[in-house]
Chains A and B, each alone.
Chain A
Amino acid sequence: MDCTVFSSAFSLLVFPGLLFLGAYGTFAEWVDRILYARMQNRVGPPIYQPVADFIKLMAKEVIIPEAADKGLFRVLPVVAVASVCTAMLMVPAWGPAGVVSFQGDLVAVLYLLTIPTATFFLAGWCSSSPYATVGSVRALTQLFAYEVPLFLSVVGPAILAGSLSVADIAAAFTANPLFIAVNLPGLAIALLALQGKLERVPFDIPHAETEVVGGPFTEYSGGLLALFLLATDMEMVVGAALLSAVFLGGSLALPGALGFVAFLAKTLGIVFVLSLTRALMARIRIEQMIGLCWKILAPVALLQIIADILIKKVI
């Protein structure tokens, strides 16, 4: 009994939970920033910069607007971090399966990863600031655009593996590497949708600095803002880990540390693609994004599902 409590606490708080995710998230943010800088011929930040930013924000005063809902305002960043940490429990990091693995955990992860966006919306909405309100409405509008292609794109691998468990899908893709090649269009769609989920260029419409200042985070400061930014970093890692498990065979059934190295390599590879997308593109307008997601990405994802069903019939 004690042992179970201890191991649960370890998974939640240390690995692959809060501590590991926080450390790896800030590292991934540094990788993203340095790659972005180098692609723009700049030097980029030193490796400790994201941690220094976090500590600096934690040390600063938290100012809550008078008209804001104070309790909600304080609790939302914590909810965002908690939901991302919970999602990580179901994504394989060490070994072939996540800490918690069950039939349908793929859906659970996707829904848990939707919660941060919902908290962003609520954060902006309860700040009672015009910029934050506009930003949060944009965040919610964007949610309904990118979630569709993201959910559709992971259906294909699930059909091929005949399972809704992330671990089973990774195992099926490892056993049959041809699946990885077949699902490359799906991976591309999922990467674009992930970019939208993380609200990064070209989908950084909710916090377009030139239009809505900081978007939903306009009124946030100090430790609360630090937690939101940390949640975004963690979400990037969890999203990358999820795509690596669903589309690229996860740890490729390698034992122990080797599998973990594969996990690190694949997530960093996905972070590289995300940075490249960020450096390559400029922000699009909200209706262009919705058009892109509903008219192009979603139909292509549907075609991918049809192709996967046909392949499943043949094999």
Chain B
Amino acid sequence: MLGDLLAALFQKPATVLYPFERLPTIENARGRIDFDPAACVGCKLCMRDCPSNAIKIVKFEGSVRFSVRPRGSKEAKIVEIPVSKKKHKALIRLKKCIYCAQCVENCLKKCLKTTSEFELASLGSNTMPPGSEE
């Protein structure tokens, strides 16, 4: 015990100074849900399966406006993507989602994916991650 204490005096502390130093995120972490509108067929299985009613698949026409926050930057920008063939988009309510990834499991077309992004707090709706709704 004494040896351990004295040795610890000369070692680097085990603490990770979080916002400045980060540990690598684990693989297959269930973070923010990513949606690929190009693959979605609008079966709405994810909607039926969601235990907290957090996901909504809606039809739309014309173009879709996404607020996109590039990784590492605080500023989000609005991107307008014209969509001609596919007619669905997913709205995920971050405050309801429990990140169980049931929707990802069930998606037949594999258009929902989990990402390792977990810092989802934001100061307003315009800085929220893409594809998300309050």
Task: Say whether B1 contacts A41, CB under 8 Å.
Answer: no
Among the listed stretches B12-20, B71-79, B99-107, which one makes contact with chain A, having 4 or more residues with CB under 8 Å of it?
B12-20
The CA-CA distance from A37 to B9 in the complex, in Å, is: 9
Given contacts A280-B1, A280-B2, contact A39 B17 (CB under 8 A): no
With a cutoff of 8 Å between Cβ atoms, the chain B residues found around residue A279 in the complex are 5
The interface centre, meaning the residue of A39, A40, A41, A44 with most chain B CB atoms within 10 A of its CB, is: A41
Contact of A35 among B1, B2, B9, B13 (CB under 8 A): B9
Chain B interfacial residues counted at CB < 8 A? 11
A280 to B3, CA, bound (A): 10
Residue of A nearest to B9 (CB): A38
Q: 0/1 per residue, B34-60, Cβ < 8 Å to A?
A: 000000000000000000000000000
- CB pair A39–B5 under 8 Å, yes or no, is yes
- In whole Å, how far is B128's beta carbon from the nearest beta carbon of chain A? 33
A42 and B14 contact, CB distance less than 8 A: yes
Quick one: which of A35, A41, A276 contacts B11, CB cutoff 8 A? A41
A residues in contact with B6, CB < 8 Å = 39, 276
The smallest beta-carbon distance between A282 and chain B, in angstroms, is 11
Any chain B CB within 8 A of the CB of A59? no
Contact A38 B2, beta carbon cutoff 8 Å: no
Report if A43 contacts B (CB, 8 A).
Answer: yes
A299 nearest CB across to chain B (Å): 25
Least CB distance, A228 to chain B, in whole angstroms: 29
* B8 interfacial by beta-carbon distance below 8 Å: yes
Q: Does B5 contact A280, Cβ atoms closer than 8 Å? A: yes
In the assembled complex, the Cα of A170 lies from the Cα of B1 at a distance in Å of 34
Q: Which residues of B contact A43 (CB under 8 A)?
A: 13, 15, 17
- CB–CB A39/B14 < 8 A: no
CB atoms of A39 and B13 under 8 A apart: no
Q: How far is the CB of A232 from chain B (nearest CB, A)?
A: 23
CA distance A39 to B8 in the complex (A): 5
B5 pairs with A276, CB closer than 8 A: yes
- How far apart sit A39 and B6, CA to CA, in the bound complex (Å)? 7
Cα A42 to Cα B5 in complex, Å, equals 12
Which residues of chain B have C-beta atoms less than 8 A from A44's C-beta? Answer: 13
Residues of B within 8 A of A280 (CB): 1-2, 5
Known contacts A280-B1, A280-B2; A38 and B15 CB within 8 A of each other = no
The interface residues of chain B lying within 8 Å CB-to-CB of A276 are 2, 5-6
Task: Report Cα–Cα, A43/B14, bound state, in Å.
Answer: 8
In the complex, the answer to whether A41 meets B2 with C-beta atoms within 8 Å is no
B12-34 contacts to A, CB under 8 A, are: 13-15, 17
List, in ascending order, chain B residues with CB within 8 A of A40's CB.
8
Are A38 and B8 in contact, CB atoms less than 8 angstroms apart? yes
- Which of B11, B15, B17 has the largest number of chain A CB atoms within 10 A? B15
A49 to B57 Cα, complex, angstroms? 52
Residue of B with least CB distance to A276: B5
Query: A41: nearest residue on chain B (CB-CB)?
Result: B14
Cβ–Cβ < 8 Å partners of B11 in chain A? 41
User: How many whole Å from B12's CB to the nearest CB in chain A?
Assistant: 9
A-B contact pairs, 19 of them (CB 8 A): A38-B8, A38-B13, A39-B5, A39-B6, A39-B8, A39-B9, A40-B8, A41-B8, A41-B11, A41-B15, A42-B13, A43-B13, A43-B15, A43-B17, A276-B2, A276-B5, A276-B6, A280-B1, A280-B2
**Given pairs A41-B14, A280-B5, 12 additional interface contacts (CB within 8 A):** A35-B9, A37-B13, A38-B8, A38-B9, A39-B8, A41-B13, A42-B13, A42-B15, A43-B15, A43-B17, A279-B5, A280-B1
Interface residues of B (CB under 8 A from A): 1-2, 5-6, 8-9, 11, 13-15, 17
Closest 8 CB pairs of A and B: A39-B5, A41-B14, A43-B15, A43-B13, A39-B8, A41-B8, A38-B9, A279-B5
